[in-house]
């Protein structure tokens, strides 16, 4: 698998709205971190580069290929963290949007996925109050799109969702191994919040019905953003903690194009959207950067959130 990247150490951190000159300077500095307002998500500059996207295999009915070389021609910015409850709450207060109820979550007593009509992003089924610094979950693809549209209007800057190719590029962080940290799933716990021994200490292996890693990441549920080490791009939580909606329609196998990092879309109605990254309760195999989730645009899940992208000049 080829991977040709340039990603120096963090060079610049700006925590105020960018002037036109600032924007040009930031775009030239891979790893720069900035915010367009004090309450806006922090974003990191991701350099251009070429990588091999996908995997020639996968679960039955969930082919992850064919592998294709994708060239990210221009730098862009990606959220340093997933969008948090505090950031999402500000959006709802400003926009007046109603995100609805009826979140799907894993019920450990019945050992099945159920839908609780009263649940929402404010109470997604954690069994405790949500925290401001946790990733927002129980939001649909439509909610995610509404957030980035609102953020664009608020800041006058071009925010959007990550494309599927951009997501995998950032998640790999320059790696060509099975996981961003290497080929051993059991080394996950320094890097990501995944199904692990901390979860099994709280429930039992039978209660989740799938595999887990043999290490302890310290969290039996959702963790605050940034609780683990960042990848080489300075981005946190690309793997584990919460899944992330992306822009693309889920198309399998991958179509012949685009190969420039832009989103792949269906020619007609999009039945399913791609969702990436795994979560705190997800099995190791689905935490690989090439693994592709596929869900309806209106689905609400206790492990589904999103991360912003921002175009640069």
pLDDT at 41 over 50: yes
pTM: 0.92
SS3 sequence, the chain? CCEEECCCCCCCEECCCCCHHHHHHHHCCCCCEECCCCCCCCEEEECCEEEEECCCCEECCEECCCCEEEEECCCEEEECCCCEHHHHHHHHHHHCCCCCCCEEEEECCCCEEEEECCCECCECCCCCCCCCCCECCCCCHHHHHHHHHHHHHHHCCCEEECCHHHHHHHHHCCCCCCECCECCHHHHHHCCCCCCHHHHHHCCHHHHCCCCCCCCCCCCCCCCCCCCCCCCCCCCCCCCCCEEEEEEECCCCCCCCCCCCCCCCCCCCCCCEEEECCCCCCCHHHHCCCCCEEECCCCCECCEEECEEEECC
pLDDT at 55 over 60: yes
- From residue 139, give the alpha-carbon distance in Å to each of 84, 113, 144, 207, 213: 11, 17, 7, 25, 27
pLDDT of residue 15: 53
The mean-pLDDT minimum among 30-44, 46-60, 105-119, 189-203 falls in 105-119
* Residue predicted with more confidence, 5 or 178: 178
Does residue 107 come out as left (phi exceeding 0), alpha (psi in the -120 to 50 range) or beta? beta
pLDDT at 273 over 50: yes
Query: What percentage of the chain carries pLDDT values higher than 70?
Result: 92
Q: Which position has the token pair 């806006």?
A: 40
Tens of pLDDT along 80-118? Answer: 999 999 999 999 999 999 888 999 988 887 788 899 999
Rg (Cα) of the chain, in Å, rounded?
18
pLDDT at 185 over 70: yes
Nearest of 289, 108, 274 to residue 185 by alpha carbon: 289
pLDDT of residue 28: 65
pLDDT of residue 16: 58
Residues 6+ apart with CB under 8 A from 160: 148, 152, 247, 308, 309, 310, 311
Tens of pLDDT along 188-222? Answer: 999 999 999 999 998 877 777 789 999 999 999 99
């Amino acid at each position: 698998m080829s991977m040709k990247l340039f990603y120096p150490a963090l060079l610049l951190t700006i925590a105020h709205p960018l002037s036109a000159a600032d924007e040009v300077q930031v775009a030239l500095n891979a790893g720069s971190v900035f915010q367009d307002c004090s309450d806006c998500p922090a974003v990191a500059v991701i350099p251009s580069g070429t990588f091999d996207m996908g995997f020639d295999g996968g679960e039955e009915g969930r082919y992850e290929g064919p592998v294709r070389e994708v060239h990210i021609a221009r730098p862009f910015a990606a959220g340093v963290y997933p969008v948090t409850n505090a950031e999402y709450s500000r959006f709802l207060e400003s926009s007046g949007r109603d995100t609805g109820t009826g979140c799907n979550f894993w019920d450990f007593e019945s050992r099945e996925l159920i839908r609780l009509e009263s649940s929402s992003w404010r109470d997604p089924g954690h069994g405790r109050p949500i925290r401001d610094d946790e990733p927002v979950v129980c939001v649909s693809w439509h909610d995610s799109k509404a957030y980035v549209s609102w953020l664009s209007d608020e800041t006058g800057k071009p925010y959007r969702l990550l494309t599927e190719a951009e997501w995998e590029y950032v998640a790999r962080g320059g790696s060509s191994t099975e996981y961003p940290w290497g080929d051993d799933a059991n080394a996950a716990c320094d890097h990501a919040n995944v199904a692990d021994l901390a979860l099994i200490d709280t429930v039992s292996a039978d209660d989740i019905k799938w595999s887990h890693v043999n290490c302890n990441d310290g969290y039996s549920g959702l963790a605050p953003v940034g609780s683990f080490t960042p990848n080489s791009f300075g981005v946190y939580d690309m793997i584990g903690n919460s899944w992330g909606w992306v822009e693309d329609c889920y198309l399998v196998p991958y179509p012949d194009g685009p190969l420039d990092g832009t989103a792949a879309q269906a020619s007609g109605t999009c039945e399913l959207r791609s969702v990436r990254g795994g979560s705190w309760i997800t099995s190791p195999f689905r935490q690989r950067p090439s693994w592709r989730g596929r869900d309806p645009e209106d689905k609400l899940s206790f492990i589904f959130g999103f991360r912003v992208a921002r175009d640069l000049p």
